[in-house]
Structure 1
Amino acid sequence: MNAARLIWDRFEEGFIVFLLAVMTLVTFVYVIFNNFYTFFYAVGAYFSESSEGVSEFFYTIGDFILDIVQTMTWSNALTKALFAWLIFFGLAYGVRIGGHIGVDALVKLASRPVQRIIAIVACVVSLAYAGLLSVASFEWVSTLMEVSIGADDLAQFGIKQWYIGAIVPFGFALVFIRFFEILVRIIRHQQVGLGLADEAADAMKLSETEESKK
């Protein structure tokens, strides 16, 4: 069980890195091509009076790159789709690492038993929210599957809208699982709160570290 969990955790991290890398690469290639053809046009213009053959050669390369840019309308759509996957896949990852910001200054003033009860209620509400959105979004994706509409600017590659939308119910299902795990740990007295990020506490720790270095 621990081995399977470790594999999934590593896959989760690797998949997020993969999405970020592909988004960055696609955007980088598009920006390079979108600005590179002007260089060949400029060089072609420079040789236009002295050597017509050389000038035509650079103009041809510039035209070729410009044609590539004009056919890369899919790059923006792909980046948006990958960003959507990053958001909804990253929701559960944020819960796992405590990356979401917790607004619980007043809660921490209460006793630990009261904090535990509040955390249980918060978990139940979060589970209800994640479960509701997971079911609702699954019905939405099922409708997209039935109509089988191609994704904007990506249909040429056989990509359907439901391919992109499928991450929504999947992501909320993962969030449901993560909050259920937190709820179990709270009930077993292995955890008090939701384990969310505490910016105030982090700032205090950073301040104490800087003071100790002086």
Structure 2
Amino acid sequence: MSSQSPLAQSKLSRWINEIEETAIAVLLGLMTLITFANVVLRYGFNTGLIWGLEATTFLFAWLVLFGISHAVKVTAHLGVDALINLFSPRLLRWVTIFSAAVCVAYAGLLMKGAWDYWANFANLPQTTGRWFPTGLEEMRRTSYRGWYEVIDISFPEWLRWIQPVMNDGDDYEKIPRFIPYAILPFGMALLLVRFTQVFVRLLRGQEASLIVSHEVEEAVAEVKHLNAEE
């Protein structure tokens, strides 16, 4: 059983990592392409993509939320460790575990808030519970906002099938907001998974960190030392 667990965890980690890296690359590419096309159209043909600014705004938001969880994986988040580096190894380990537990709890709060905000736009029930989800509210349609559209991005024809499901059969002119807003619960779920992975590794005594490591600084110091000896 124990020999299979690290393998399964490794596969899950690689799968999540591929999703994050692919999404980040695609989002950066789309933002660059739309912005470049808009500049060419504006200054070369005195026109432009009306939906360009809104699209790049949504894409940037997706990029940030994907980047938050990916930064946990690559330990790119900044942190101040001037004090904790003075602790003994044993105390430092328990402080780090406590910090990871706080991060997991915080990510859980963000996940609940993100779902509850997005749920109304997706015609789904919010969660019950003040801090952490204890269940789902009863289905109610009076406050659902699946009809709520973005401002400029036109609704594509290949998505017309969602109109009977989300908008009582009425036509969408622009894409509904629940589509771009879906990154909120999804991104927070990725963040929760990443923090949980770090927390579990710390509990098992494996090497893990929540903030950017000092490997680069140590490498630079080593190079300086070697140059000085020469």
Change in 2 beyond 3 A, CA 1:202/1:164: same
Q: In the alignment, what sits opposite 2:61?
A: 84
Q: In the alignment, what sits opposite 1:183?
A: 199
User: Which structure's residues are more often helix, by fraction?
Assistant: 1
User: Whole-Å Cα distance in 1 between the matches of residues 34 and 226 of structure 2?
Assistant: 45
Cα shift at 1:194: 2.5
1:150 is the counterpart of 2:146:
no
The normalised TM-score by structure 1 is 0.77
User: Whole-Å Cα distance in 2 between the matches of residues 165 and 35 of structure 1?
Assistant: 32
Q: In the alignment, what sits opposite 2:104?
A: 127
Q: Map of 1:1-214 to 2, 5 A cutoff?
A: 1=8, 2-37=10-45, 66-67=46-47, 69=48, 72-145=49-122, 146-148=144-146, 149-157=148-156, 158-191=174-207, 194-198=209-213, 202-213=216-227
**Partner SS, residue 181 of structure 1:** helix
Cα shift at 1:195: 4.1
User: Whole-Å Cα distance in 2 between the matches of residues 181 and 36 of structure 1?
Assistant: 50
Cα shift at 1:156: 4.3
| Count of aligned pairs | 181
The answer for unaligned runs of 5 or more in structure 2 is 1-7, 123-143, 157-173
Cα shift at 1:153: 1.0
Report Cα offsets for 1:131-171 as digits up to 9, x if no partner: 01111110110112221211121244442112111111211
User: Which structure's residues are more often strand, by fraction?
Assistant: 2
Give the conservation status (yes or no) of the 8 Å contact 2:100–2:210. no
Residue identity in the other structure for 1:196:
I
**Partner SS, residue 154 of structure 1:** strand
The normalised TM-score by structure 2 is 0.72
Cα shift at 1:31: 0.5
